[in-house]
A and B are shown apart, each in its own frame.
Chain A
Amino acid sequence: MSNYKAVIGLEMHCEMTSKAKVFSQAINSYSEIPNVNVRPLDMAFPGTLPTLNKECVRKALLMSLVLNCQVPEYLYFDRKNYYYPDLPKGYQITQMHAPVGINGKITIEVNGQDKEVLIHDIHLEEDSASLDHYSDASLIDYNRSGVPLLELVTEPCFNSAEEAVAFLEYMRRTYQYCDVSEADTKKGQIRCDVNVSIMDEDAQELGTKVEVKNVNSFQNVYETINYEIKRQSELKDAGRYAEVEQETRRFDEETGTTIRMRSKVDAIDYKYFVEPNIPKLKISKDWLAEIKKSIPVLPRERKAKYINELGLSEYDANTIIKEKDYADYFEECINLGINPKIACNYLTVNIVAYLSKEDITLKEFYLTPALLKQIIMELDKGTISSKQAKEIFNKSLEERKEPKTYITKDNAQISDSKALESIIDNILDNNEQQIVAYHNGKTNLFDYFVGQVMKETKGKANPTMVKEILKSKLD
């Protein structure tokens, strides 16, 4: 197979988090029980009209700003008309004429290299109902009908599956950081359409574009792109490039291939026109400025700060920014005055292990940064050993009690040199024979003396100090 240049574009649909749906006042929340989050509009009962959820508009505008898009002066919507049982109104309210953002540009990192991604547009729309197919019937669940969606369309600016997936990962994180979406592919909150074409390395014109619809995981996006590149390249090698048609295909998970759905010739005419029931909304400069101010620090900037200012390794920084929860937890630790490296170690080793063992999220984790600080500060002071710290960490989680409950005088390490000296003097006074033997060359008796001190203090003596004092007294 020859090596052709691949050209890839992405359409990424992402379900937004919000209290209510975007055009109806029903609750926007995932539910296993069908048809509970439904208002009359979501089933298109005659006479119902759309409302507009301003929170969704705000989040859409925020994403538009994050992607450095141009924002229109007025916000309005369009109807996309087609018949399908999951679309009760017979049209979807979306944005075709004036999306919340157009002509954006962002820089992402792919394998340590910067990559510029061009955004064609990002627009706000509503999701359809969901269908469950059975052998003799199909059932409609309207919970999803009207759920706010953001659709992001890139220019065909990627040249490999790695680049495309890196962008999707980047966006998933960004949606989470901006609190726009949970962006959970397992809950079907992200769905992608992928456009792939190939061309000779030195060619001027793009090849024939094939669209693969509804690819539901990033792994499948990766496989889809590589499969299409291979399929198209092989046809081109065989002199049969004409067989690559401008068409819509779907990804088949079982075989890892793509299957033809329809030709471009059969494409649906959606008869877009402006939604008359939602008056144009002026997007004021003040509002935009306010939204801009609310954009949180994004992962790329956080990573740079962790490496350059806090001295973390690139590996550790990457681990922490992967999830917004981790980054927020880490930064709270830093704000509380915890040493960055210690905080990082606790987070990436002990906490991560505990979360995965218990199968919970960091939000559900009992030891908040403030509670963790109770342990780390004692460790710093030397009042507890690292072994004890670990025990307190586990005990505190197990019994859901503050760590300081376990840091009592009773179990505190004896690090007071005067106290230790008097204990040691006492032991030495009672072991004169052993001292003589030690001085005659039986040096392994040193450990015997340490053992005696530990026995006397029930293991609470600071071992390093004990050794130091013993050495100075014996030698």
Chain B
Amino acid sequence: MHMAKNIIELHQQLINGEVTSEELVKESLQKSHALQEKCHAFVTILDDAKGGKVTDSYLSGIPYGIKDNYSTKGILSTGSSNTLKDYVPFFSATAVLNLEKNGAIPVNKTALDEFGMGGTGTTCHTGPVKNPWNLKHICGGSSAGSAAAVAAGVYPFALGSDTGDSIRKPAAFCGIVGYKPTYGMISRYGLFPFASSLDHCGCLTRCVADAALVVDAMKGLDTHDLTSWDSQHMHLYDSLNGHVKGKKLFYIKEIVDLQNYHNPSWELKKHLENFQRTLEILKELGVEVTPVSIDKNLLKAIPSVYVCLSCAEATSNMSNLTGIVFGPRGEGAGVTEMMMDHRTKGFSPLIKRRFVIGSYILQKENQEKYFVNAQRVRRLIVDEMKKLFQTYDGLILPVSKGPAPVLANLEDTVSDDELSVLEEHLQIGNFGGFPSITIPNGFIDDLPVGINITGNCYDDANVLNIAYALEQQMPYQNQIAKEWQNE
């Protein structure tokens, strides 16, 4: 049962010859098939994957999963969409190439909400992804398959992408670690775009040290991505030392105080109490934790700002999906009809609705009111955060309003209630391009929940180190979903 181990342990075993890369790959593939049967976590399982050479690189010879919105050379890459159901790219994403250089071995492509547009993991063209902790529940999304696979112990890490909270929320719902570094630290070249100004690459792991190791390997300046920057002086894994005494965190009172909610559910109460307990652990470590008040109107604007900006960028970014150059060719009398047919058949209703919203927002007569105002509010929110980051090392908040919802109870509507800020606040991390990490901090009703720490741009090492220190004080690192522990 090697795949339950973390990267450092596996690396030691590989170096010492206690196990071979080939055996790891084999075990990972077996587990992939077992999980696929129950959770539908994958679009493709790479059955002919072979073990690789073991070198000094921690990741060498270790199996991992790639979210299916990363372009992979010679391997089906669908974005979990019917518009690309047969698309086999001829080039690989830079992040994937960087991992290849480090010797990591991809064993599957994981399912996601179509092109990352969704937070449930239920809109994949291969069917909804189920939570390995409890099959009645969702994993959250959009990196649903990656979260499920890491939580079920298929491998120690998988790639994710995060436009609103697509790494960090499923990580919380699956009891694992989800980390998206500062915007541009990892090249987006080869990542199918959702909303370019908000899109981040990142990873899902079972402990903070693994997240640091994986991003160390994925990151780097890329001439193909003008928004990428040189981080060769940053060594995330080497920076982890657990010394956090004197660090300062803040949380937002309006989001965390129970009295702000009118009829709090039992789950919500438990979740917020649990959050306070986690803060106590931090205080014991010598971290100062301060409640901060932020204008409620600004907070309430977060979800709508996100919808405006992400839908607007998405409708433009996905205009290349016409079925002309790639993807199934549509039918029709002329080119316009063919494109319409391809898009009508190819996209799920959820995506179509987002395209309609995006187009509406970008229309000449609406742009100022919706799009430009959303950009202004984004700036206000980011400025407010940057001001606070002058004083504090990071923002700490609970993820979501509790554990993963039941699949059957999902409502396909945009929520506008008092819980929406609690549900969507992770989007702040995308607005500012801030480094942001989710780690598990407990259970409610046998389902995992998580907390999130977000810091200032380029301060990744600091954010990771606080999460690392906190993780040591809780019993959840390296946990595997119960049912899968003995698989």
Residues of A near any B CB (own CB < 8 A): 40, 43-52, 79, 81, 83, 85, 88-91, 138, 140, 269, 271, 273, 276-279
Contacts and interface: CB of A to CB of B under 8 A. Distances in A.
Interface residues on B, range: 35 or more
Given A46-B71, A47-B190, 18 more contacts: A40-B91, A46-B77, A46-B79, A46-B193, A47-B71, A47-B89, A47-B188, A79-B316, A83-B336, A85-B322, A85-B324, A88-B325, A89-B319, A90-B320, A91-B316, A271-B316, A271-B363, A276-B313
Interface string B196-231: 110000000000000000000000000111110000
Contact of A276 (B77, B196, B224, B326): B196
B365 to A, nearest CB: 8
B93 interface: yes
A271 B358 CA distance: 10
Nearest to A46: B192
A80 B371 CA distance: 15
A461 B371 CA distance: 89
B350 interface: no
Interface in B363-415: 363-364, 367, 371
8 contacts: A45-B91, A47-B70, A51-B224, A83-B322, A88-B320, A90-B316, A269-B364, A276-B197
A46 B193 CA distance: 7
A47 B320 contact: no
B188 A51 contact: no
B133 interface: no
A81 B316 contact: yes
A279 B226 contact: yes
Given A271-B362, A273-B312, A273-B371, A48 B319 contact: no
A85 B319 contact: no
A83 B316 contact: no
Contacts of A40: 90-91
Contacts of B71: 45-47
B84 A46 contact: yes
Contacts of B319: 81, 83, 89-91
Interface in B64-118: 70-71, 77, 79, 84, 87, 89-91, 93
B191 interface: yes
Interface of B: 70-71, 77, 79, 84, 87, 89-91, 93, 188-193, 196-197, 223-227, 312-313, 315-316, 318-322, 324-326, 335-336, 339, 359, 362-364, 367, 371
Prevailing SS type, chain A contact patch: loop
A56 B220 CA distance: 26
Contact of B364 (A48, A271, A276, A278): A271
B225 A49 contact: yes
Given A81-B362, A83-B336, A277-B196, A47 B191 contact: yes
Prevailing SS type, chain B contact patch: loop
Contact of B192 (A47, A81, A85): A47
A89 B320 contact: yes
B138 to A, nearest CB: 26
Contacts of B364: 269, 271
Contact of B227 (A79, A81, A279): A279
A79 B77 CA distance: 26
Q: Among the interface residues B70, B93, B227, which one has the most CB atoms of the partner chain A within 10 A? A: B227
Given A271-B362, A276-B197, A49 B326 contact: no
A50 B323 CA distance: 21
Given A43-B325, A271-B359, A277-B196, A49 B188 contact: yes
Contacts of A48: 189-190, 224
Contacts of B70: 47
A79 B314 CA distance: 13
Given A49-B226, A88-B320, A269 B363 contact: yes
A277 B226 contact: yes
A90 B317 CA distance: 8
Contacts of A271: 316, 359, 362-364, 367
A273 B366 CA distance: 12
A277 B363 contact: no
Contacts of B93: 47
Nearest to B371: A273
Contact of B326 (A45, A138, A140, A279): A45
B66 to A, nearest CB: 12
A16 to B, nearest CB: 20
A40 B326 CA distance: 12
Contacts of B223: 51
B226 A45 contact: no
B2 to A, nearest CB: 32
B227 A277 contact: yes
Nearest to A277: B196
B25 to A, nearest CB: 26
Given A45-B325, A81-B319, A273 B362 contact: yes
Contacts of B313: 273, 276
Contacts of B91: 40, 45
A140 B325 CA distance: 10
Q: Among the interface residues B313, B316, B336, which one has the most CB atoms of the partner chain A within 10 A? A: B316
A81 B364 CA distance: 12
A44 B77 CA distance: 15
A50 B222 CA distance: 12
A51 B79 CA distance: 23
